[in-house]
């Protein structure tokens, strides 16, 4: 079945780095764009970053620009989020989610499949 599984979360000190992974299965990963969305404890959803299906374009929320890098390996059906210079305010559950863009999509643009999330805690 269509599935996204995140991993790589944990507890890290401020200023340190962490890399999140998202394993995709059950669909043609290389034809879908991918997002990272986060949710701080008890708070709402916040979009973090997006990468085009072929990796050609990437966008970030201002608060992570220069610190986070989204990437993908279509040969391995994997999405990544490299998080450097972590801050306490980056503490959240991080979700990966897919979207389709283009005329062949049944659902165009909306985030239709989400992973279960991985928790990142930044604390000294």
- Residue 121 Cβ, how far from another protein at the closest point, in Å? 16
For residue 25, which of 72, 73, 77 has the smallest C-alpha distance? 77
Considering only 72, 99, 120, 122, the residue that binds another protein (CB under 8 A) is 99
Chain position carrying tokens 């970030």: 60
- Interface with another protein includes 14 (CB under 8 A)? no
Considering only 20, 50, 83, 92, the residue that binds another protein (CB under 8 A) is 50
Q: 16 vs 36, which CB is nearer to another protein?
A: 36
Q: 18 vs 48, which CB is nearer to another protein?
A: 48
Q: 46 vs 74, which CB is nearer to another protein?
A: 46
SS (H, E, C) the chain: CCEEEEECCEEECCCCCEEEEEEEECCCHHHCEEEEEEECCCCCEEEEEEECCCCCCEEECHHHCCCEEEEEECCCCEEEEEECCCCHHHCEEEEEEEEECCCCCCCECCCCEECCCEEEEECC
Residues between 61 and 90 with contacts to another protein, criterion CB under 8 A: 61-62
Residue 106: both structure tokens together: 């049944």
| Count of positions on this chain that bind another protein (CB under 8 A) | 23
Interacting residues toward another protein by CB under 8 A: 35, 37, 44-47, 50, 59-62, 95, 99, 107-112, 114-117
């Amino acid at each position: 079945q269509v599935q996204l599984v995140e991993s790589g979360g944990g507890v890290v000190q401020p200023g340190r780095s962490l890399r999140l992974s998202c394993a995709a299965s059950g669909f043609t990963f290389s034809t879908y764009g991918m997002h990272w969305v986060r949710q701080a404890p008890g708070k709402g959803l916040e979009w973090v970053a997006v990468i085009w299906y072929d990796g050609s374009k990437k966008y970030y929320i201002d608060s992570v620009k220069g610190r986070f890098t989204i990437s993908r390996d279509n040969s391995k059906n994997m999405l990544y989020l490299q998080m450097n210079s972590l801050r306490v305010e980056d503490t959240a559950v991080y979700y990966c989610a897919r979207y389709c863009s283009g005329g062949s999509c049944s659902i165009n643009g909306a985030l239709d499949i989400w992973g279960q999330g991985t928790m990142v805690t930044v604390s000294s």
